[in-house]
């Protein structure tokens, strides 16, 4: 076990846990944001650099700080490690820079993007970004690529997090899309005309942090904040059948996986559940889905619900009381 201090909160975690996982155990504001890391996808993380934190003490034995900021999603903790996330101005500064980098070539077409309202990049830039841009050059523009009847690919919005590639490798089986070319012209594509179709391929929509991969069956149907999400299930021979259905009145507009507080799906669902079962008779509704209070999706829905307690960094280091 390793005792690690993050923004003055102390938590004890098994050896080999990453700083990010330890922070998620504490929860609240001190959890570093992630754009590429996905706990359910092996090998993900380390790329977007939004989760950079400062290790001000490497371990109990080695009191030196780590020389650079480290990616919390891929750096394991050590006993006695002291980490600063939002208590470090250096980290906040770096995070602001990363958000700027992610945005300079982003088309900022949120008004016509289906992801708007549930977009990680939107949330991230709301919290850490600048109001204006210093980028005066032209933004890059990819030719559009058709990847089949279910998923719409908007390469211009992609931040190259690689999540969809890992999903195709680990969840969906045979992979026909990948990261092609390199540098700032790298792209997600199938290289040859091909459509991404297999039982679990729709999950690449759920893991995409931005609007690069969206649901063609839901395209331009509605803004997400006009919909009411409900937890629902059905007896599915392929997957768990546990989903979130998004309703407008009585009509089901779309079906997605159930997401946890960190925006990751609990269980990957099959394409039949996602794309073909849109009738209200298909689903047994369990309850309204829990929506993060800060989320734009909660707007106008749960006005009277009390704000949950928010975990802030502490002024001083405090040991947890058993």
Partner 1 sequence: MGRKILLDKIDIPGILGFDVYRNNGGYSAVEKALKTMSPDQVLDEVKKSGIRGRGGAGFPAGMKWSFLDRSTNNPRYLICNADESEPGTFKDRYLMEKLPHLLIEGLIVSSYALGANTCFIYIRGEFKYLVGILEKAIFEARKNGFIGKNILSSGYSLDIYVHPGAGAYICGEETALIESLEGKRGNPRIKPPFPASKGLYQCPTVVNNVETLASIGPIIIMGGEEYAKIGTGKSTGTKLISASGHINQPGVYEIEMGISVEDFIYLDEYCGGIRGSKKLKAIVAGGSSVPVLPENLVFKTAKNETRLMTYESLAEGGFESGTMLGSGGLIVYDEDACMVRNTWNFSRFYHHESCGQCSPCREGTGWMEKVLYRIEHGQGRIEDIDLLVNISKNIEGNTICPLGDAAAWPVASAIRHFREEFEFHVKHPEKIKNKDHGNIQKLFVP
Partner 2 sequence: MHNNQIQHKIHFRENKEFHFREEIMEKVKQIISRYPEGKQKSALLPILHIAQEENCGHLSVDVMDYVAQLLGIQSIEVYEVATFYSQFYLEKQGKYVIELCKTASCAICGGEDILDFIKEKLNIQEGETTDDKLFTLKTVECLGGCGYAPVMQVNTEFYEFLDRQKIDSIIDELRSKANDEKAKASTWAEKFC
Binding site for partner 2 (CB under 8 A): 137-143, 145, 174-182, 185, 187, 189-193
Residue from 3, 40, 47, 247 binding partner 1 (CB under 8 A): 47
Please give the residues from 136 up to 165 whose contact with partner 1 meets the rule CB under 8 A: 136-137, 159-160
Q: Read out DSSP for 210-244?
A: STTEEEGGGTTT--GGGSEEEEEE---SSS--EEE
Are 181 and 136 a contacting pair, CB within 8 Å? Answer: no
Q: Pick from partner 1, partner 2, none: which does 190 bind, CB < 5 to 8 A by kind? A: partner 2
Binding-site size, partner 1 (CB under 8 A): 33
Q: Which single residue is written with the structure tokens 């779309």?
A: 254
Contacts (Cβ under 8 Å, ≥6 apart) of 116: 110, 122, 211, 223, 224
Cβ 176 to partner 2, closest distance in Å?
6
184 binds partner 1 (CB under 8 A): yes
Looking at the Cβ atoms of 110 and 145, the one nearer to partner 2 is 145
Looking at the Cβ atoms of 126 and 191, the one nearer to partner 2 is 191
Cβ 190 to partner 2, closest distance in Å?
7
Residue 178 burial (CB < 10 Å; 0-12/13-18/19+)?
middle
**How many C-beta neighbours within 10 Å does residue 315 have?**
8
Q: Pick from partner 1, partner 2, none: which does 248 bind, CB < 5 to 8 A by kind? A: none
CA distance 217 to 241: 19
CA distance 121 to 106: 10
Looking at the Cβ atoms of 68 and 317, the one nearer to partner 1 is 68
Q: Which single residue is written with the structure tokens 């799906």?
A: 265
Token reading at 287: 């309850």
Residue from 23, 53, 69, 119 binding partner 1 (CB under 8 A): 69
Cβ 205 to partner 1, closest distance in Å?
22
How long is the chain? 322
Task: Using alpha carbons, select from 289, 233, 236 the residue that is nearest to residue 259.
Answer: 289
3-state class (DSSP) for residue 271 = helix
Cβ 162 to partner 2, closest distance in Å?
11
Cβ 161 to partner 2, closest distance in Å?
16
Cβ 136 to partner 2, closest distance in Å?
12
Q: Pick from partner 2, partner 1, none: which does 189 bind, CB < 5 to 8 A by kind? A: partner 2
Q: Which residues bind partner 1 (CB under 8 A)?
A: 45-49, 52, 68-69, 71, 74-76, 94, 97-98, 100-102, 104-105, 134-137, 159-160, 179, 181-186
């Amino acid at each position: 076990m390793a005792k690690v201090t993050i923004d003055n909160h102390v938590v004890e975690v098994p050896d080999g846990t990453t700083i990010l996982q330890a922070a998620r155990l504490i929860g609240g504001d001190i959890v570093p944001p992630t754009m590429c890391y996905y706990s359910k996808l092996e090998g993900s993380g380390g790329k977007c650099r939004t989760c950079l934190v400062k290790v001000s003490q490497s371990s109990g034995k080695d009191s030196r700080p780590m020389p650079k900021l480290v990616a919390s999603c891929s750096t394991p903790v050590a006993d006695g490690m002291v980490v600063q996330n939002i208590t470090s101005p250096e980290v906040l500064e770096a995070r602001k820079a990363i958000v700027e980098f992610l945005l300079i070539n982003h088309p900022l077409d949120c008004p016509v993007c289906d992801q708007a309202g549930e977009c990680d990049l939107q949330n991230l830039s709301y919290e850490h970004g600048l109001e204006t841009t210093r980028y005066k050059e032209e933004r890059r523009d990819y030719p559009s690529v058709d990847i089949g009847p279910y998923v719409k690919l908007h390469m211009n919005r992609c931040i190259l997090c690689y999540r969809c590639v890992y999903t195709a490798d680990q969840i969906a089986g045979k992979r026909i899309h990948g990261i092609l070319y390199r540098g700032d012209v790298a792209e997600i594509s199938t290289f040859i005309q091909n459509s991404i179709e297999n039982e679990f391929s729709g999950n690449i929509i759920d893991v995409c942090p931005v609007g690069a991969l969206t649901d063609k069956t839901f395209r331009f149907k509605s803004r997400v904040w006009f919909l009411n999400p409900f937890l629902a299930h059905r007896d599915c021979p392929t997957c768990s059948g546990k989903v979130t259905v998004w309703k407008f009145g009585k009509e089901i507009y779309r079906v997605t996986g159930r997401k946890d507080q960190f925006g990751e799906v609990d269980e990957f669902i099959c394409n039949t559940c996602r794309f073909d079962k849109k009738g209200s008779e298909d689903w047994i509704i369990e309850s309204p889905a829990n929506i993060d209070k800060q989320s734009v999706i909660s707007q106008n829905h749960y006005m009277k619900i009390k704000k949950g307690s928010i975990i802030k960094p502490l002024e001083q280091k405090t040991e947890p009381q058993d």
